[in-house]
Structure 1
Amino acid sequence: MRRAEEKDTEEIFGLAREFALSFRPQRSAFDAAFPLLLENPDALVLVAVVGGDVRGYLLGYVHLTLFANGHVAWVEEAMTQHGFRRRGLGRALLEEFETWARSRDAGYIALATRRAPEFYQALQYESAGTYYRKVLKPGVATSGGPPGPLTT
């Protein structure tokens, strides 16, 4: 488990394409966003590496809130590659993100998913709400539902 680096671009893009259900990642947008995410002090991109290859990633943020009396953390994207699930990679990604979020004084971590409820419950995550969204760019969404972080 480590922070993502520029050299991980190709592998993370491939995983993002596998991950995306609601949106189809476009290479030009990915290439513009990835370096900015790596430099953003409020964002964390982690990779799970097996045998020298990136087999999973997590993108999360810490941000200030008014209702929670300070910082909270949000897992935006997290996934492990098909064929490498159920090997502890997802758990390791989330645990590393939790450590980072604690270091940033986050009060809690949240995420939106319809996948792997048993996985999250085993890590002591609770179901806490309903996810709503409104697509602002026509033609961007390809199906109706939130992407599912961490398919383990």
Structure 2
Amino acid sequence: MEIRPLREGEAAAFVEELWVPYSEALAAVDPYGGLVDGPHADATEHRRERVREDGTFDRVAVADGALVGYVAGDFRPAPPVVRHGDTAHVNELYVRPAYRREGVADALLAEAEAWARQRDCVYVSLNVHRENEAAAALYRDRGYEVARYNMRKPLE
């Protein structure tokens, strides 16, 4: 298995093979993450733009020539009025079901953490759905701790 940056020319395949399944899995536990109907041209262009940006990371896991997982996030500079340093935030982490529990997610997180260290970040942050105990266990095993609760209220 290889962990490497997503290539701009892979954006369409990435969206269909990894991002759409990630979004569908997310929507299954939280309708907030549901996708709009139709082609995903906007998502493909969004990934192409991210590949060109300096403050973002999109890394893919490749096994036997196939995209099997990814991690995506961004650099979040600390405001000048706070004591803590800069943070890297993991926005998305997904591994195809057939490759789970084989170290792929662990390797992707390690890559995200290495990216953060190269930018002198003092933290890596992420969110996990409260019902996703398998992911929460992975994060705890890697040393992540609950620092705050994310709450929302629907406005009707």
Could you say which TM-score interval applies, normalised by the shorter chain? 0.7 to 0.9
User: Against the structure 1 CA distance between its residues 48 and 68, is the aligned structure 2 distance closer, same or farther, given a 3 Å change threshold?
Assistant: farther
1:18 corresponding residue in structure 2: 21
Q: Which runs of 4+ in 1 moved over 4 A?
A: 133-136
1:59 corresponding residue in structure 2: 72
Deviation at residue 37 of structure 1 after TM alignment:
0.2
* Residue 83 of structure 2 corresponds to residue 83 of structure 1: no
Deviation at residue 49 of structure 1 after TM alignment:
0.5
Contact 1:47 1:56 in 2 (8 A): yes
Superposition TM-score, scaled by structure 1 size:
0.82
Superposition TM-score, scaled by structure 2 size:
0.80
Range that drifts further, 52-61 or 26-35: 26-35
User: Against the structure 1 CA distance between its residues 132 and 40, is the aligned structure 2 distance closer, same or farther, given a 3 Å change threshold?
Assistant: farther
User: Against the structure 1 CA distance between its residues 91 and 68, is the aligned structure 2 distance closer, same or farther, given a 3 Å change threshold?
Assistant: farther
The gaps in structure 2 that reach 5 residues or longer are 28-32
5 Å-filtered alignment, 1:116-131, equals: 116-131=135-150
Instruction: Give the % identical residues.
Output: 27
Cα RMSD, aligned residues only: 2.1
The gaps in structure 1 that reach 5 residues or longer are 137-152
Cα deviations by residue, 1:49-89 (Å, 9 ceiling, x for unpaired): 01010100111111211235431110011110111100111
Pick the structure with more helix per residue: 2
2:114 corresponding residue in structure 1: 99
User: Against the structure 1 CA distance between its residues 68 and 102, is the aligned structure 2 distance closer, same or farther, given a 3 Å change threshold?
Assistant: farther
Task: From the CA coordinates, give the structure whose radius of gyration is larger.
Answer: 2
Contact 1:68 1:107 in 2 (8 A): no
Contact 1:8 1:54 in 2 (8 A): no
Contact 2:11 2:48 in 1 (8 A): no
2:45 corresponding residue in structure 1: 32
User: Against the structure 1 CA distance between its residues 82 and 135, is the aligned structure 2 distance closer, same or farther, given a 3 Å change threshold?
Assistant: farther
